[in-house]
A and B are shown apart, each in its own frame.
Chain A
Amino acid sequence: MSTAATTTAAALSFENVSMVFPDGTHAVDDVSFGIRPGEFVSVVGPSGCGKSTLLKIASGLLTNTAGSVELADDNIGYVFQDATLLPWRTVQKNVELFMELHGVDKAERAGRAAEAIELVGLNGFEGHHPIRLSGGMRMRVSLARSLTLQPPLFLFDEPFGALDEITRERLNDELLDLFRRENFAGLFITHSIQEAVFLSTRVLVMSARPGRIVDDFEVPFHYPREDALRYDAAFAELSGRVSEALREGHE
């Protein structure tokens, strides 16, 4: 097991974090890692290993029972597996929601929402209600909504897990594009090894519950990453090693 050095400059750092739920479920055990600004870290692990719990702890939705969590900035983007759009709001109004909750004034809201909508490629759909959008489009609205607050750190909880393969790859490309331009740090939960390796600068492997970090892989490929990378031998080799670590941790 290798643990990344946590520096004070980390966007997010976990220090021996454990989580035991009131019902006795030991979800996360002694987890330590750090994410530097501009780093994109994926966590892969078997389902039910406490991956999502990590994000809930990082965001403050849950409080860890042991260890410490440090955030450089309270402003974080949190993208759920479900797009969680408000169905009665149009795309425009959905994208404005977070700014509304933070008291940003109307004129500025409209401007920043327009920018975010442009970034995710949904121009022309501002007046649509979520019911008329495809799953991929809804996810993009969800992304745009978080982008409006320009958080230095994004938490992604299997955001593309419910989408079909083609839409997922397309959104992966788009997310990489956003990541490069907006330069946020990311913590990305997924159960897809390929997705993790393709997107990330680092991949952490978690064991079955109670979730521990059992391995930490640097991903050496340069950005921008092209589609062809998915069929590269080095990519396959690294994916294979991650897969092996995952299987070992599962036992």
Chain B
Amino acid sequence: MTAVKDAGTLSSRMASADAAVTQTKNIRSRSLGHRIVTVTGPPVVVFFGFVGVWYIYSALVGETERKISSPYPHDVLDVAFFTWANLKELLQATWVSTKVSVTGLTIAVILGITFAVLMSLGRWVERSFYPYAVLLQTVPILALVPLIGLRWGFGFTSRVIVCVIISLFPIITNTLFGLKSTERGHHDLFRLHGASLGTRLRKLQFPAALPAMFTGFQISAGLSVIGAIVADFFFGRGEKGLGIKIRDYTSFLETEMLIGGIIFSALLGIVMFQIFGIAGRLLTRSWHESSGAGNT
């Protein structure tokens, strides 16, 4: 090491030494092709296995049973997906259910964050409200649905209320957990520089809570689709969503369409779940540990 330290060279020497450290981390692991095989491969195999078992089952149950409850997969595709009038019916029902669950989820997100923030601000707020948040989660939604229907009718409003109730809890708990997970040292830092509560919330706690919040949104997105379909199924009136259609198909023994309805319900849930997953990752990928940013 040089005796008299010139600041300029000292700094650049340090920087280049550390740059070397970062560089070595930059080696990409495995090829894209390899990743596709290892990541996408296994679930695809399981899928084909499932379809295979389905075929065997449909073949074994015999003609009558096959007509009533166990059509071949290709029959389902023919009727529900390759016949435009039927597909259109399912798409319309899916759209109705989408509107309900997205509205419900939006309200749940706003309410959930508000409650979580209030709970994070005061222990007594948390103590007062938390038991009821748990209650929301533990009361079987089907037990509440009739009451909601009687009070708010059997239309859009009631369906949305069901969605809100079913999806509120994960948002509250995950957001609250995220807001409280901020390190003590960070709080000290903000306090030392006279930051107000609002500033701390905005610049420290919210960004820190983002990953947990999005986990909550993701869980709730799936739940709100369930809520929309359950409410629909139970109320059975008004604009026809997937729930009503599923009920109708059951009563008319249109099994291919019933399975089509189930597939669309699942797809809606998956899409909603994934949207929040991707949004969350996009927002936090450059810095969050789980994103693997440190290794790329």
Interface residues of A (CB under 8 A from B): 59-61, 78, 80, 82, 84, 86-89, 97-98, 100-102, 118-125, 128-134, 136-137, 140, 170, 173-174, 177, 181, 224, 226-228
Contact = CB atoms under 8 A, between A and B. Distances in A.
A80 B22 CA distance: 24
User: Which 8 pairs between the two chains have the least Cβ-Cβ distance?
Assistant: A121-B11, A101-B193, A129-B287, A121-B14, A131-B294, A84-B185, A88-B207, A227-B1
Nearest to A128: B22
Interface stretch (B2-10, B222-230, B240-248): B2-10
A146 B248 CA distance: 68
A181 B7 contact: yes
Given A61-B192, A84-B185, A226-B4, 8 more contacts: A86-B203, A118-B11, A121-B10, A122-B15, A123-B11, A133-B22, A173-B10, A177-B10
Interface string B73-95: 00000000000000000000000
A136 B7 contact: no
Interface of B: 1, 3-5, 7, 10-15, 18-19, 21-22, 25, 183, 185-186, 188-195, 199, 203-204, 207-208, 210, 284, 286-289, 293-294
Nearest to A87: B287
Q: Which of A118, A121, A227 has the most CB of B within 10 A?
A: A121
Contact of B186 (A86, A102, A134): A86
Contact of B284 (A88, A121, A170): A88
B96 to A, nearest CB: 38
Contacts of A122: 15
Contacts of A100: 203
A226 B207 contact: no
B10 A174 contact: yes
Contacts of B12: 121, 123
B270 to A, nearest CB: 28
A101 B11 contact: no
A93 to B, nearest CB: 10
A130 B208 CA distance: 14
Contacts of A136: 18
Contact of B190 (A101, A177, A227): A101
A191 B5 CA distance: 26
